[in-house]
Amino acid sequence: MPGYRDLARDREFRALVGAHVVSVAGDQFARVALTVHVYDRTASATLTALTYALTFLPDLIGGPLLSGLADRFARKEVMVAADLVRAALLLLMAVPGLPLWVLAALVVLVQLAGAPHGAARAAVLPHILPDERYPLGQAVIGTLTQAAQVAGFVCGGALVAWLGPGPVLVADAVTFGVSALLIGLHLLDRPAPARAHVRAWPTDLVGGTRLVWGDRRLRALVALACVSGFYIVGEALAVPYAASLGAGPAAVGLLFGAYAAGAAAGMLVVAHLGERLQLRLMPWLAIAACAVLVPAALRPGLVISTGMFALSGAASAYHLVANTRFVRAVPDESRGQAFGLAVTALRVSQGIGVALAGLAAETIAVHRVVAAAGALGVLAAGGAAYLWRLSDASRSDGPSQSGGSSRSGERDGRRRRHG
């Protein structure tokens, strides 16, 4: 079986991971900077949560319409172009004195540019790791991503308190430049997927939608992913939550980082479990990610709250299983579009959850809003778990890596029904 050394020897994988980790850390700098900046200027939990929601809602457009670029053009070129665009936009955001509406518009544009980059990265990874190294590679990327978020959130809170939001946004722009350099220098030049140039854009969108919606297992995986729209509320309200505890920006970074640290630890554990056990635990972890936030109703202190966020992050490691199963289930020529649609559902659920929580926090104590989101999330996760059980995916061999797996799945199903 391959191990971490096999992955470390792969130059393309190192470059892809390095580029992703650097830009993720910078993104967390920007998230802390934006939320603190807006809360300092408005003292409004609603506007702070809405600003955070803007980092998710653009995927409603970018996911379906822009992720298909990863199937129409060389994926290396798509990633480099997206990084350079985001770097330029972040430099504009760092200009002092921008009106809030201009800042919000630039946040939307930055997230729109990220949609094709994420789809291209997900689509090219099976080519870099075409064998049994792929699941381990996903685990490494997921774990390092969460570790980068820990560093980004914790350091971001301290940097914002020390330097202010503007220089932190410039630092985020630099990380995207580094990402573009690593990808441009070290990834192999691969052509666009076969037949991509003869497909009309609407055909990509409609075909990807039918692919995801027409497969019960893929629908169930998307539903489980959307549960994050509930447990992310604690992270989105971290600024007013910390303020209600009498803490400052450094505590905001600590709360943000606790979730990411828990997720990193959870992924390390989940990645080393057997496949069958991973599938059995996946729906239960989705439920647990929400349930651990319910005690926020008792208004615990900073230490206990940090532990709650960390446990929620650890349980969210079920996304590692769901992501791996989803990406490998779709054919290469539609992988970018299908991934973009799934991310759209995920981000929109997160954005809506954050926005509604922010509105609720205007009239209800923040700690009660977090607890209510956790309780509602338990119900939603239970429904998603039921869909997963109905799909019979937990007792199958799992999605295949080719688009022609449906017939074999039907034959397996007939064999089960006939004993």
The predicted pLDDT at position 248 comes to 66
The sign one gets for the Cα dihedral 166, 167, 173, 176 is negative
Q: Return the percentage of the chain with pLDDT > 70, whole number.
A: 79
Tens digit of each residue's pLDDT (9 = 90 or more) over 370-408: 999 999 999 999 999 998 888 764 444 444 433 333 333
pTM of the full structure: 0.64
Report whether 48 contacts 240 (CB < 8 A).
yes
Report CA-CA distances (Å) from 258 to 4, 253, 264, 334. 25, 8, 10, 36
Report whether 343 contacts 322 (CB < 8 A).
no
Q: Taking Cα atoms as reference points, which of 11, 107, 12 lies closest to residue 50? A: 107
Report whether 178 contacts 148 (CB < 8 A).
no
State how far the Cα of 62 lies from the Cα of 345, in Å rounded to an integer.
11
Tens digit of each residue's pLDDT (9 = 90 or more) over 99-149: 877 877 887 788 788 888 888 888 888 888 877 777 778 778 877 877 777
Q: Is the pLDDT of residue 409 over 90?
A: no
99-135 burial code (b ≥16 CB/10 A, e <16): eeeebbbbbbbbbbbbbbbbbbbbbbbbebbeeebbb
Confidence class for position 332, pLDDT limits 50, 70, 90: low
* Amino acid occupying residue 138: Q
Tens digit of each residue's pLDDT (9 = 90 or more) over 158-213: 777 777 777 878 888 888 999 999 999 999 888 877 554 444 445 555 555 666 66
Indicate the fold that domain 4-185+204-410 takes in CATH.
Answer: Growth Hormone; Chain: A; (1.20.1250)
Mean pLDDT across the chain: 77
- Out of 161-175, 292-306, 343-357, 387-401, pick the least confident: 387-401
State how far the Cα of 373 lies from the Cα of 179, in Å rounded to an integer.
35
**171 CB contacts (<8 Å, ≥6 apart)?**
26, 29, 159
CA dihedral 128, 132, 138, 139 (to 10 degrees): -140
**391 CB contacts (<8 Å, ≥6 apart)?**
216, 217, 219, 220
Query: What's the token pair of residue 145?
Result: 């991503």
State how far the Cα of 48 lies from the Cα of 419, in Å rounded to an integer.
56
* Amino acid occupying residue 215: D
The sign one gets for the Cα dihedral 403, 404, 407, 408 is negative
Which stretch, 16-30, 279-293, 351-365, has highest mean pLDDT?
Answer: 279-293
- Out of 49-63, 267-281, 299-313, pick the least confident: 49-63
